[in-house]
Amino acid sequence: MDYQFKDIEKKWQQFWADHQTFKAEDKTAKPKYYVLDMFPYPSGAGLHVGHPLGYIASDIFARYKRLKGFNVLHPMGYDSFGLPAEQYAIQTGQHPAITTETNIATYRRQLDQIGFSFDWSREVRTSSPDYYKWTQWIFMQLFNSWYNKDADKAEAITKLVEHFEQNGSAGINAVCDDEISRFTSNEWNAKSPNEQQSELLKYRLTYLRESTVNWCPALGTVLANDEVKDGFSERGGFPVEQKKMMQWSMRITAYADRLLKGLDTIDWPEPLKEMQRNWIGKSVGASVRFTIEASPKSSPKERTLKNGEANSLSFGEGRGEAIEVFTTRADTIFGTTFLVLAPEHELVAPLTTPEQKGAIDAYIAQAKKKSELERMADAKTVSGAFTGSFAINPVSGEKVQIWIADYVLAGYGTGAVMAVPSGDQRDYLFAKHYHLPIIPIIDIQNIETEADPTKEGHYINSGFINGLTYKEATAAVVAKLEEIGAGKAKVNFRMRDAIFGRQRYWGEPVPVYFKDGLPYLIDEKDLPLVLPEVDKYLPTESGEPPLARATGWNYNGLPYEHSTMPGWAGSSWYWYRYMDAHNDTAFASEEAIEYWKDVDLYIGGSEHATGHLLYSRFWNKFLKDIGKVVEEEPFKKLINQGMIQGRSNFVYRLVDELGRGTNTFISHGLIKGYHTVPLHVDVNIVDNEILNLEKFKKFRPDFADAEFILENGKYVCGVEVEKMSKSKFNVVNPDDLIERYGADTLRMYEMFLGPLEQSKPWNTNGIEGVFKFLRKFWRMFHNDAWDFRVSGDEPTKAELKSLHKIIRKVEEDVERFSFNTSVSSFMIAVNELTDLKCNKRAILQELVIVLSPYAPHICEELWTLLGNEAGTLSYTPYPKFNPAYMVEDEYAYPISINGKTKMNLNISLSLDPSAIEAFVLANADVQKYLDHKAPKKMIVVKGRIVNIVL
RNA sequence: GCUCAGAUGGUGGAACUGGUAGACACGCAGGACUUAAAAUCCUGUUCCCGUAAACGGAGUGCGGGUUCGAUUCCCGCUCUGAGUACCA
């Protein structure tokens, strides 16, 4: 039979499903290997050809590992809570669960036809109550925990309560809110339960607090920082504004240092680690308190610190008014010539003198009007206003002006900076613009035209640190600040606590009810707290989230939390559920976690760098702290597959004098000299940039009578690389390719396209080559009449060499995730063996095993035709490479003169360098090049090259 | 601006530790088979000089360097892509 890929693929997909071929064992003597893909959000559009790229790579790896004798866990599931299904529900009234169900069915059908070796018995869906029961359970554990800095781990809140009862707040070193109170054990015990609860909330790892959030009015919800791009929502592109709201937050900042340190222990792409490092944004410096000189007119109330300011000082207490700044260059403190506050800083109003009030109010009003985008675009223009007040430099005693300017961000550090114009370019420009003093503080500093942030040289104009070096000065200043109580060494993080509530319907309900305005967990036995039915998926008239619409939805008469969890909740632990997907007494059993431990290989896109991948590491560390999992890091090795971009084709429509489009289309090579407009044309009716004219006429009704100006009888289309999207007519659907070429061809072609990690535009042009390869491979097992025919003869040396070459090559390539090069090598092997007319079982049977991870269907079929027991190929041992077959006794040495290769000479590999040298020099052709001159030098590298230097 | 990644034929890409640059494929050109088409097979295909071949020259973004030898290592630059941004 000819290569009937449709029958073969259908047959084997059915076989694998029927026999649960890829079901992973939980108890086996084999070593475990966990290969994980980032599970998809099942969108209505289905898969395009870019989606399966990573899945194919991981599937090849998983299948390869099975051949190598590992017990492989290779699961798949759906991250099925999310905005699109809900938006669709708002528009149509269809329950998101139904939309989700339909989309999952589409995904499953598409995935199944690609022939993945997923263990579907472990499928998870984040929107299923059996699953989100455990997401809620983890939320409860976080609520019941606090972060003990002394132990550097999360501990039970009951332990904290015990401490309070016995010792009060003394001796507690926690990551907590800024405004905590100090109390003795007696004071604690005298507190009402409500007072105790509200105090504890300041310590819990998930907590409720009024905070400034990214509010997206169009979506009616808050968004996390990583869901906002340049002031617009990542999904939908709607404007986002800042708003104060009571919100659930996750105290991820408690783990900032561990998240940073852990990066050094995992095998992830360096750019990805770098992104996480930047996101965490650790800066080491000092916090410095500048006292305010003139007593302001109105006394500011007790200073409140910024959101997420986890461990700041509270110098203001009982010491008079002060402005606290954060600096990474405490050494430059003598160069401070003014202070700058963010316009939103709470001390701005009390500091503003009556004379300056007009200017300050005008500036604040103007700054408020600026959108995030304008403010960024405006980055180069200097603007600000003087408050009229002064502050005292704590080490120099110098009196400096206090200004406000929007180059200081309210959300970072303390929202105030000490301006050192000699060392900081922004301060420099500001000082120049407003004619403020600039004092050089380092002897080698050059501040003629710009600030010089050097750390070299010795200090001048700097009091007690004059003459010191950078290192000495920093230490001396920090020591002095601590001595006089005006500051201390401090580490600042850019990362904020993660907002954990969404005012949406289609997410996990938060397992919390309210009593006297305080949140309490529901009883664990009442989990899962199932999403209630609502009449509409919109906020209520009073602006409450959709869950407020649910009638009779309460906890023993007390109201539930109406926010739901954000999209990343369910994906922050899902890899553990696969280990034990049907457990209803734990998120996964201890034994399962002890056996599978962590993910050995995780493949997915780098777009999750600062979202999913960071939150997952955070939850994992927390689960480790409370003893529920065994590894500090969840994903040992991670590979980013590159993005598949779209490749759009264009036709060029001729435009008449009036600027109207005509019905004439000009081939790309001829458009110069004509007035044309480019139009996207469906890439599926273009083959190697040649437009199929008949299909084009049917593409759109108004093209039916299109006319063409052709080049060489063909219409050549233009090409551009863009995002793959329906509106650009550049979406290539895997279903169509599978229909034409089969899944094995698609799998191999996706790998053949280029290195996995590289982004590249999709181009179907080369797929024929892979298809031809598979047919050629099939033909090796058949005679001219398409009868299956293999010979039992002993293989020749050449045949064995080809085979063992590919055995070794695929091993090396798969281990370093270089799948594209193995596809080439398969082609070379099949070309060689075809040339040798090899149809020997001894060779072909091994070759089938080696190819099977890439093209599993055809290999299973041939394996069965070869007379092996059906369906067992997946667990057959990978052939053993035998170097003996690779041994050559001769090698064609390239002979180069001055590094330029001139010829090849066959020389026995047993000769040593001096013998080779003699042999080469004796050669007549070599002598011709030498032209009777003696070579200056000869380099002989055995088994590699001979170079003659003239 | 900063950080990271990258730049090789008409195209996708290969060359893993410095050792024959362009493997493998696409495309293109020519040919075989065929009434024809499809399928299949064969030959050629980096560029320049040259009638083809032989021979010769240039060549891995640009300019230098190290080396017997550089796509690979070092220095400087250009461009492309990604991330990030008044982060004090």
Question: How many CB atoms sit inside 10 A of residue A245's CB?
Answer: 15
In DSSP terms, which residues pair with A488 in a beta bridge?
A287
| Final residue of a structural domain among A586, A618, A640 | A640
Distance of alpha carbon A71 from the chain centroid: 28
DSSP A674: S
Asked if A93 and A188 sit in the same domain, the reply is no
Distance CA(A226)–CA(A571), nearest Å, equals 15
**Å: A356 CA to B64 C1':** 59
Name the residue closest to B69, CA to C1'.
A899
Q: What is the mean pLDDT of chain A?
A: 88
Query: Gap from A192 CA to B26 C1', in Å?
Result: 77
> For B67, which residue's CA is nearest its C1'?
A899
Claim to verify: residue A382 and residue A480 sit in the same structural domain: yes
A776 CA to B33 C1', in Å? 19
- CA A396 to C1' B18 (Å) is 58
* Distance in Å, residue A930 CA to nucleotide B33 C1': 50
CA A350, A353, A359 angle in degrees (round to 5)? 105
Domain assignment present for A9: no
Domain count along chain A: 6
pLDDT of residue A451: 84
The answer to whether A748 and A774 have CB atoms below 8 angstroms apart is yes
Report angle CA A75, A76, A82 to the nearest 5 degrees.
145
| Residues facing residue A654 across a β-bridge | A676
Domain containing A928 — which CATH number?
3.10.20.590
The protein residue nearest nucleotide B86, judged by CA to C1', is A407
* The nucleotide closest to A688 (CA, C1' atoms): B27
The beta-strand segments (E) located in A484-614 are 487-493, 498-499, 512-515, 518-521, 554-555, 558-559, 599-604
| CA-closest candidate to residue A832, choices A796, A799, A808 | A799
Nucleotide nearest to A492 (CA to C1'): B87
CA–CA dist A721, A562 (Å, integer): 44
A471 & A540 share domain = no
Q: Which of A559, A581, A606 is at the close of a domain?
A: A559
Phi and psi torsions of A30, nearest 5°: -65, 150
Does one domain contain both A454 and A319?
A: yes
- Residue A230's pLDDT is what? 67
A482 and A354 inside one domain? yes
Q: DSSP states of A498-534 as a string?
A: EE--BS-SSSPBPSEEEETTEEEEPPGGG-S-PPPP-
Which nucleotide lies nearest residue A642, CA to C1'?
A: B82
Could you tell me how many residues make up chain A?
950
How many Å does it take to go from CA A821 to C1' B22?
A: 15
pLDDT, position A302: 39
If you measure CA to C1', which residue is closest to nucleotide B4?
Answer: A271
Report the pLDDT averaged over residues A330-348. 90
| A854-893 tens-digit pLDDT | 999 999 999 999 999 877 899 999 999 999 998 888 888 8
Give the pLDDT score at A649.
85
Same domain, A286 and A424: yes
Say how far A431 CA is from B75 C1', in Å.
37
pLDDT digits (tens, 9 = 90+) for A731-744: 888 999 999 999 99
Task: Check whether the bond before A877 is cis (ω within 30° of 0).
Answer: no
Q: What is the mean pLDDT of residues A371-387?
A: 71
Residue A178, φ and ψ in degrees, nearest 5: -80, -40
For residue A277, being part of any structural domain is answered with: no
Query: Given this model, what pLDDT does residue A312 score?
Result: 30
- Whether A91 is in a domain gets the answer yes
In angstroms, the CA A792 to CA A839 distance is: 9
Residue A374 has pLDDT above 70, yes or no: no
Out of A133-137, A456-460, A579-583, A718-722, pick the least confident. A718-722
Each as own residue / partner, the long-range contacts of residues A219-225 (CB below 8 Å, 24 or more positions apart, any chain) are A219/A83, A219/A504, A220/A503, A220/A504, A220/A538, A220/A539, A220/A545, A221/A502, A221/A503, A221/A504, A221/A545, A222/A247, A222/A499, A222/A501, A222/A502, A222/A503, A223/A499, A224/A498, A224/A499, A224/A566, A224/A568, A224/A611, A225/A496
Looking only at the bridges linking them, the beta strands covering A644-655 and A661-666 are: antiparallel
Token couple for A52: 């399966």
pLDDT for residue A852: 96
Q: What is the mean pLDDT of residues A395-416?
A: 88
CA neighbor of A481 nearest in space, from A336, A598, A585: A336
Query: Of A367 and A509, which is predicted with more confidence?
Result: A509
Which nucleotide is the nearest neighbour of A429, by CA and C1'? B86
Nearest residue to A720 via CA among A670, A644, A649, A668: A649
pLDDT at A298 over 50: no
pLDDT for the residue A373: 53
pLDDT of residue A714: 79
- Is the pLDDT at A12 greater than 60? The verdict is yes
Q: Which nucleotide is nearest to A380 (CA to C1')?
A: B86
Q: Which nucleotide is nearest to A830 (CA to C1')?
A: B24
- Residue A533 structure tokens: 């039915």
Q: Does residue A122 carry a pLDDT above 70? A: yes
CB neighbour list of residue A236: distance below 8 Å, 6 or more residues apart: A83, A87, A218, A219
**Residue A444 and residue A364 share a domain:** yes
Neighbours of A105 (CB within 10 A): 11
Q: Is the pLDDT of residue A56 over 90?
A: yes
Percent of chain A with pLDDT over 70: 95
Same-domain check for residues A614 and A749: no
At A771 the pLDDT is 94
The answer, yes or no, to whether residue A183 has pLDDT greater than 50, is yes
Q: What one-letter code names the amino acid at A83? A: L
Looking at A133-147, A388-402, A465-479, A670-684, which range is the least confident one? A670-684
Q: Cα-flanking dihedrals φ and ψ of residue A40, to 5°?
A: -85, 155
- Of A427, A360, A420, nearest in space to A388 by CA: A360
- CATH code for the domain in which residue A771 is found: 1.10.730.10
Residues 6+ apart with CB under 8 A from A235: A83, A84, A219, A227
Among A307-321, A585-599, A738-752, which is the least confidently predicted range?
A307-321
With CA of A415 and C1' of each nucleotide, the nearest comes out as B88
Question: Which residues on neighbouring strands pair with residue A223, listed in sequence order?
Answer: A214
Length A923 CA → B47 C1' (Å): 32
Q: What are the two backbone dihedrals, phi and then psi, of residue A319, each rounded to the nearest 5 degrees? A: -120, 10
Q: How far apart are CA A857 and CA A116, in angstroms?
A: 10
Whether A336 and A482 share a structural domain: yes
Q: Is pLDDT of A296 > 60?
A: no
A874-CA/B39-C1' distance, Å? 33
Residues A430, A379 share a domain: yes
- For residues A686 and A610, membership in a common domain is answered with no
pLDDT digits 0-9 by tens, A797-845: 999 999 999 999 999 999 999 999 999 999 999 999 998 889 899 999 9
Q: What is the pLDDT of residue A319?
A: 34
* Burial call A11-34: b when 16+ CB within 10 Å, e when fewer: ebbeebeeeebbebeeeeeeebbb
Residue A190 has pLDDT above 90, yes or no: yes
Chain B bases having any atom below 7 Å from a protein CB: 3-5, 11-16, 19-21, 23-28, 39-41, 56, 68-70, 81-88
Å from the A896 CA to the B50 C1': 25
How much is the average pLDDT of A926-940?
79
CB under 8 Å, gap of 24 or more: what pairs does A767-772 form?
A767/A737, A767/A741, A769/A827, A770/A741, A770/A745, A770/A823, A771/A741, A771/A742, A771/A745
Nearest nt (C1') from A286 Cα: B88
pLDDT, residue A878, reads 96
Mean per-residue pLDDT for A159-166?
Answer: 95
Higher pLDDT, A369 or A863: A863
pLDDT at A375: 61
Q: List the A642 CA – B72 C1' distance (angstroms).
A: 24
Range of the domain at A584: 37-131+567-640
- In angstroms, the CA of A386 and the C1' of B29 are apart by 77
pLDDT for A409-464, tens place per residue? 887 888 899 999 998 888 998 998 999 999 999 988 888 888 888 888 899 999 99
The owner of tokens 């010795």 is A458
Output A63 or A949, whichever has higher pLDDT: A63
Rounded Cα gap, residues A423 and A440, in angstroms: 8
> Does pLDDT of A544 surpass 70?
yes
The tokens describing A721, both together, are: 């690389």
Domain end residue (candidates: A493, A518, A538):
A493
Beta-strand relationship, A241-250 and A498-499:
antiparallel
Nucleotide nearest to A714 (CA to C1'): B28
Percentage of chain A modeled with pLDDT above 90: 52
The reply to whether A876 and A812 lie within a common domain is yes
Tell me the nt nearest to A943, Cα to C1'. B19
Instruction: Report the distance from CA of residue A828 to the C1' of nucleotide B43 in Å, as an integer.
Output: 19
Mean pLDDT of A640-656: 87
Q: Is A906 left (phi over 0), alpha (psi -120 to 50) or beta?
A: beta
Is the pLDDT at A917 greater than 90, yes or no?
no
